[in-house]
C-alpha cells in the first residue's frame, strides 16, 4: 500500500490510507493530548482536546481527521493552548473534580492535562452545578460517581465494542446529558457483568473499582506484569501492590494478546492470594493430622506412593487430572509423565468438565 507523506510540527512522517493524524502522531512518539480517544475503541471526537491546526488555518480533532498527502500539521500553538485550557476549565466547572478524595488521584488523564496546561481549579467559577448520581453500594465490583464524568463516551464504547454487553449509554441532551446503565438503573441492578473494562478505560474517577478503596493511593502502587492464572487463554495482566505488599488492583495489559481486556475472574479474583486460609506449604498426613512439610519431603512421598500403587495394581490404577490454570508446557509435562513414566493413558483435563 502506498504511503501518505506529510509533516507534523515540521517532522516528516508517513501513514496509511484511513489512518488519523493522532494515530500517526502516536506511532511517531509525537505527543497530542486526548481524553475521549482510545486505540481499542472507535473514534468519537467528543472531547476536542486533541485539536490541531492543518495547513496554518483549520482546527480539526486529530483523533477523527484522516491524514492526506502533503498536509502540514501543527499540534500546539498559542491559540490551541488557549482552547485546550478553556475546554479543561469547562470540564472542571461542570463536575466535582476534587483530586484529594478521588480514587483516580494519581492515575487520571484529566488530572494530567490540568497540570500540563496549568489550569487552577480554584480560579474557576463553578456557578450552579447540578448534582448527579453517586452509587458506591449497589455493585460489589464497581463504583460510580457521575459528578466526575466528562461524557467522553469511552465506557459506552468499551461496553459495546469490547465486552459487547451494551450496558452503558448517554441519556438526554445538552447540560442534562448523563451516563445511564440500561434504562437508568443502579449498576448492581443492571445487566452489568462486572468485567471492569469500562473502569480501566475511564479517563477520570467517574467509574472506579471497589477493591481499591482504602488500600493505597495510585502513585504509591508498584506494578508488575504477569499472566492471568484463571484459565488457559493466557491474558497478560498488570498487578498493583501497595506499600504493605498487598495486592490491591489488577488491570489488563494493553500490550498482551488480550489487548487489555479481562474477565471478571481475572479482574477481581485475586483476593485468595492474601487469604489467611491459603496454603503456603504442602501438607502431609501424620498420625491422622495434616502437618506442614517441605517440598522435597512431599514430592518424595508422592513418588514412593505412586511407585507402590503401580507395582501392586498396575499403571492403569493411576490417573491424572490436569488444570486450565497451568501453562501449555506444564500440561504437556503432566501427560508426558503419565504416559512415559507411569505408563497409562488415564489423563483428563478440567477445562472439558
- Beta bridge partner(s), residue 9: none
The pLDDT score that the predictor gives to residue 215 is 59
* β pairing state of 72-74 and 51-54: antiparallel
The pLDDT score that the predictor gives to residue 351 is 67
Using the structure block, give the residue that is written with the C-alpha cell 489488563: 252
Distance CA 319, CA 89 (A): 67
Helix (H) or strand (E) run with residue 284 in it = strand 283-286
| Contact assessment for residue 218 and residue 106, using Cβ atoms and an 8 Å cutoff | yes
Record the pTM.
Answer: 0.83
Q: Residue 26 class from Cβ within 10 Å (0-12 exposed, 13-18 middle, 19+ buried)?
A: middle
The pLDDT score that the predictor gives to residue 14 is 96
Chunked mean pLDDT (size 10), the chain, 353 residues: 93 96 97 96 95 96 96 97 95 88 92 95 71 91 94 96 95 89 94 95 94 68 90 88 89 92 90 86 93 95 96 96 84 95 92 57
Among 197, 109, 122, CA closest to 148: 109
Domains and CATH numbers, the chain: 4-76 (3.10.20.740), 221-278 (2.20.25.90), 281-313 (no CATH), 314-353 (no CATH)
How far from 295 is each of 57, 135, 283, CA to CA, in Å?
A: 71, 48, 9
Amino acid at each position: 500500500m502506498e504511503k501518505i507523506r506529510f509533516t507534523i510540527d515540521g517532522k516528516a512522517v508517513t501513514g496509511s490510507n484511513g489512518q488519523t493524524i493522532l494515530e500517526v502522531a502516536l506511532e511517531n512518539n509525537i505527543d497530542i493530548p486526548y481524553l475521549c480517544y482510545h486505540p481499542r475503541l472507535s473514534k468519537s471526537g467528543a472531547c476536542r482536546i486533541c485539536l490541531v491546526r492543518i495547513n496554518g488555518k483549520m482546527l480539526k480533532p486529530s483523533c477523527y481527521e484522516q491524514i492526506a498527502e502533503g498536509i502540514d500539521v501543527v499540534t500546539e500553538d498559542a491559540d490551541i493552548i488557549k482552547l485546550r485550557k478553556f475546554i479543561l476549565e469547562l470540564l472542571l466547572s461542570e463536575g466535582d473534580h476534587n483530586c484529594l478524595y478521588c480514587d483516580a488521584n494519581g492515575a487520571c488523564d484529566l488530572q494530567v492535562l490540568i497540570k500540563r496546561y496549568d489550569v487552577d481549579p480554584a480560579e474557576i467559577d463553578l456557578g450552579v452545578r447540578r448534582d448527579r448520581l453517586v452509587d458506591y453500594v449497589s455493585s460489589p465490583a464497581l463504583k460510580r460517581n457521575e459528578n466526575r464524568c466528562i461524557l467522553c463516551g469511552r465506557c459506552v464504547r468499551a461496553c459495546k465494542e469490547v465486552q459487547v454487553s451494551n450496558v452503558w449509554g448517554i441519556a438526554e441532551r445538552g447540560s442534562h446529558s448523563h451516563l445511564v446503565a440500561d434504562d437508568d438503573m443502579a449498576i448492581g441492578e443492571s445487566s452489568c457483568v462486572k468485567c471492569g473494562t469500562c473502569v480501566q478505560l475511564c479517563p477520570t474517577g467517574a467509574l472506579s473499582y471497589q477493591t481499591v478503596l482504602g488500600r493505597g493511593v495510585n502513585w504509591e502502587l508498584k506494578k508488575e506484569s504477569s499472566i492471568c492464572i484463571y484459565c488457559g487463554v493466557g491474558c497478560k495482566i498488570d498487578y498493583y501492590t501497595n506499600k504493605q505488599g498487598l495486592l490491591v488492583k489488577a488491570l489488563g495489559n494493553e500490550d498482551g494478546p488480550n489487548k487489555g481486556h479481562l474477565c471478571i475472574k481475572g479482574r477481581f479474583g485475586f483476593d485468595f492470594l492474601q487469604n489467611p486460609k491459603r496454603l503456603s506449604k504442602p501438607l502431609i498426613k501424620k498420625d491422622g493430622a495434616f502437618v506442614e512439610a517441605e517440598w522435597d519431603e512431599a514430592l518424595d512421598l508422592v513418588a514412593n506412593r505412586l511407585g507402590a500403587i503401580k507395582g501392586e495394581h498396575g499403571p492403569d490404577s493411576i490417573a491424572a487430572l490436569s488444570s486450565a490454570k497451568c501453562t501449555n508446557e506444564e500440561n504437556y509435562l503432566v501427560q508426558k509423565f503419565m504416559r512415559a513414566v507411569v505408563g497409562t493413558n488415564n489423563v483428563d483435563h478440567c477445562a472439558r468438565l
